[in-house]
Structure 1
Amino acid sequence: MKIRRTLATAVVAAVTTPVVLLSVTPALADANAAVAAQAQQRGERDKPSIEELEEAAEKAQKAYDDAVAAEKAGRAVVEAALSDDAPLAVAAKAAREEAADAATAKENADSALVDARAALAALPETATAEEKAAAEKAVADAETAATSAEEAKATADAKAAAAVDASDDARVAAVRAYSKLQNAVKEALTAKEAADKALADARDEAEPDEPECVFESKLSTVVTGLPSKIVAGSTTNFSLRVTNGTDKTLDEVSPYVYFHATDKSGYNVIDDAFHLQWSTAASPAWKNVEKGSRAGSISPLKAGAHADVKLRLKVDAKAPAGDGLAFVAGDYVNDDESCGGNLSTEYDFELLAAGSSVPGDVDDAKPGKTTPQTPDNKPQGSTSTTPLDSANTADSAATGSLASTGSPSALPQFAAAAGAAVALGAVAVFVVRRRKADSAA
């Protein structure tokens, strides 16, 4: 951000520069001293406690915050120092103008002296004594004026040179001071990251070993009935089929759906314009799908079986025209605490402005080209946007029931992490580490 400063503000900023610089170093020193003091207090203990590491991380964070604030203030100072309105810059400009005026005055005095000497030389032999005396006096006066002008020019040149040097020196000093502030931010960030890592490592070490979730390619999540063109302000019904292609029962499966879109510029994200709900025959009331949350739960899903979830998408009428992607994924957690999930599949669609007309034969959104297509995960059923009825929902005996209860005690959130990562620019998440519900709280 560019900061405009008046002359008075620039003067104050220049005076406070040393204070800004000195405000960073003590903060860093305090953080380092705190760590050293804790090390002494530990005595014979090999490792710091989590409480000590938390305190050190807190101090490192404060030192970093102070460094960032000082760097921001220093940026205002250096911008003021480099401005043409800085006091020394104004003084240098005035001195240069005085030197230019003195140079002009000297040129005029030298020219007057040349003219006076020419006039004296041009006097005729018949000139009177008075005329000769007057011409000689004119030459003498011109010589005096020329000498004075030369001295004035030399003085003005020296003054201008000194003023320019002072202005340049001040600017160089301001830039060097700001460079120190930038380095202080880097040092504080390095210290903060080290403190945060030490704390995270200690917390990980203190936690019991947990199994890692695995990538399961045979768990498929396929969307049916999502149109390739969606109008802002409309409501669209479609379905999600989850298929267990493995040779074992998955005790609890959680599907995930995330809508990501931008306007036509490709820069303005409009994800908040999409509102998704889910419903099943077992739980017919529509329930909201929070960002990054699951769209229902299937418990259990037997080997080779599938289950369907009805979905309803509402798009704000004020949403601009643009392009979007629906990210669909699923994960599972078993009673033995094993867990895993699949990669997110993306379905691209075009978002039309409110009031746009859409032909009745719009194609369904298709899965991305990078998504493996197998008989297990090809779209099933029609492309209608009407919700599935209870007959299309697999019963609990054959395929597992769709539970409406709360989250399991150890939900891995595999697909939620995948959807969030994709929304931030990543394309897939292969393996995530499962966290128990109590440790995540």
Structure 2
Amino acid sequence: MKIRRILATAVAAAVTTPVLLLSVTPAFADGKPAAQTQEKPSIAELEKAAAAAKAVYDSAVEAENAAEAALEALASDTAPLVVAVKAAQAAAVAAGTEKDAADQALVDARAALAALPDDATEEQKAAATAAVTEAETAAGTAATAKEDADAKVLEAQDTLDDERVAAARAIGQAQKATEEALAQKTAADEALAKAIEEGEDDEECVPEAKLKTVVTGLPSTVVAGTKVNFRLRVTNGTGRTMDEVYPFAYVHATDKSGIKDLGDLVHLQWSPGSSGTWKNVDNEHYMDAISPLKAGAHADIKMRLTIDAKAPAGNGVTFVAGDYWNDNGTCGGSPDLEGYEFLIAAKGSKPATGDAKPSTTEPADSGIKPQSGGSSAPVGGSLAATGSSSATSQLALASGAALAIGAGAVFAARRRKAGAHA
């Protein structure tokens, strides 16, 4: 089984849209991690993921271009809404001219009535009075028409302005969607390229479910500005010695929205053996090798999680797993990433009781003999697989974790270790 392909496929799926999670391959259709399905992810499936990500990106570019064209169209003199504004303005000008004429006619009628001589006949007075009344009616009608025309100008202009604002907002949203789609496409392309490059290297590596990794003592809530100590137990539940076992640990956290990555504010360290010193987990998320780990034995590793004081309230998950490499060239690793979710409480909050619980396997170490882990130079490696059971929050965190780790970075170390054991 190509272990790296399992991880690459999971990463590619994690960084594409939820729709792609369901459409790329049947291995993801039931919501289980790829490593937990019977199908073996392949280069072809990665190619489907990359093609799907490209389709999303192409659609986003199309939508952005359409949004820009729509805004440009609204600036044209021939745009229907622009034409409607001009027509309303012309009607308002005409209504203004008619109102001015009606007002002047009323002034003239009133002047004619006032200018009648004292000896004017009753018929002349009645005619002049009727002329004033008619002019007043016409002036009122013209004034109402002018008000209506002015209101239609404002309405047409408001409609045009609203459309322009909506078009500008659509461009902003389309640009953001294009950026996100490009990032997803880039990640999927890199995962495919790396899988093609490294695809044949790990035929001899197999998933080993009996290589267990269990976290104990990690609180379910960690307060910003504090450090918490816990333990990572790596257990060889097989009937054979593993010459070198490489414990893996990775922490990923976001704010409550799930959008803002808190990676710079969350730090993971480990302490070798009985030493009181602390080391940062290396940039490939591995610790020094346990050499060897005998059949039925386990090794405990002291871990420490630090949350910076300025970290906001949010959610986190600590992933753990293990890889092994034998002197005869055989290799493998845990088929799943164990995920232990925890909450991040704002600085000054009261710590909650209770430990973080695993999402995929239950701790089981009865009858296992303790063994101290030997230390060698830190060596990176790749996981046998990635994923959790079905927790929605952890799926979101795993997606961010996949982006943070990188689709290709986790593959190189096994090749280096293969060279070291050649």
**Selected match of 2:211 from 219, 229, 234:** 219
The answer (yes or no) to whether the contact 1:106–1:146 under 8 Å persists in 2 is no
Distance, in Å, in 1 between the alignment partners of 2:145 and 2:239 is: 98
Change (3 A) 1:65 1:302: same
1:367 aligns with 2:357: yes
Counterpart position of 1:402: 374
Counterpart position of 2:42: none
Change (3 A) 1:309 1:78: farther
Counterpart position of 2:336: 343
Could you tell me the TM-score, scaled by structure 2's length? 0.53
Distance, in Å, in 2 between the alignment partners of 1:102 and 1:186 is: 51
**Selected match of 2:382 from 369, 388, 412:** 412
Please state whether the residue corresponding to 2:251 is helix, strand or coil.
strand
Instruction: Give the AA of the match of 1:298.
Output: I
Counterpart position of 1:254: 246
Distance, in Å, in 1 between the alignment partners of 2:401 and 2:183 is: 29
The answer (yes or no) to whether the contact 1:325–1:347 under 8 Å persists in 2 is yes
Instruction: Give the AA of the match of 2:364.
Output: T
The answer (yes or no) to whether the contact 2:241–2:295 under 8 Å persists in 1 is yes
Distance, in Å, in 2 between the alignment partners of 1:175 and 1:205 is: 44
Instruction: Give the AA of the match of 1:403.
Output: S
- Flag structure 1 segments of 5+ consecutive residues without an equivalent: 1-59, 120-126, 381-391, 396-400
Query: 1:228: Cα distance to partner?
Result: 4.0
Q: How do residues 259-274 of structure 1 correspond to structure 2 at under 5 angstroms? A: 259-262=251-254, 270-274=262-266
Distance, in Å, in 2 between the alignment partners of 1:147 and 1:106 is: 10
The answer (yes or no) to whether the contact 1:220–1:243 under 8 Å persists in 2 is yes
Change (3 A) 1:403 1:198: closer
| CA root-mean-square deviation | 6.3
Change (3 A) 1:412 1:195: closer
Change (3 A) 1:307 1:439: closer
* Higher alpha-carbon Rg: 1
Residues 242-293 of structure 1 deviation map (CA, whole Å, 9 limit, x = unaligned): 0011223333322222334455677655443321211213876421125761
- Flag structure 2 segments of 5+ consecutive residues without an equivalent: 1-54, 389-393, 417-422
Distance, in Å, in 2 between the alignment partners of 1:278 and 1:196 is: 30
Query: 1:241: Cα distance to partner?
Result: 1.1
Residues 81-133 of structure 1 deviation map (CA, whole Å, 9 limit, x = unaligned): 8xxxx976764554465566678789989999xx9xxx9xxxxxxx9775535
Please state whether the residue corresponding to 2:228 is helix, strand or coil.
strand
Please state whether the residue corresponding to 2:249 is helix, strand or coil.
strand
Percent identical residues: 35
Instruction: Give the AA of the match of 2:357.
Output: P
Change (3 A) 1:75 1:366: same
The answer (yes or no) to whether the contact 1:243–1:376 under 8 Å persists in 2 is no
Query: 1:311: Cα distance to partner?
Result: 1.4
The answer (yes or no) to whether the contact 1:95–1:159 under 8 Å persists in 2 is no
The answer (yes or no) to whether the contact 1:98–1:156 under 8 Å persists in 2 is no
Counterpart position of 1:11: none
Query: 1:405: Cα distance to partner?
Result: 0.9
Instruction: Give the AA of the match of 2:355.
Output: A
Could you tell me the TM-score, scaled by structure 1's length? 0.51
Change (3 A) 1:185 1:356: closer
Q: How do residues 168-247 of structure 1 correspond to structure 2 at under 5 angstroms? A: 209-211=200-202, 214-247=206-239
The answer (yes or no) to whether the contact 1:88–1:166 under 8 Å persists in 2 is no
Query: 1:140: Cα distance to partner?
Result: 7.2
Residues 142-192 of structure 1 deviation map (CA, whole Å, 9 limit, x = unaligned): 889999999999999999999999998999999999999x999999x9999
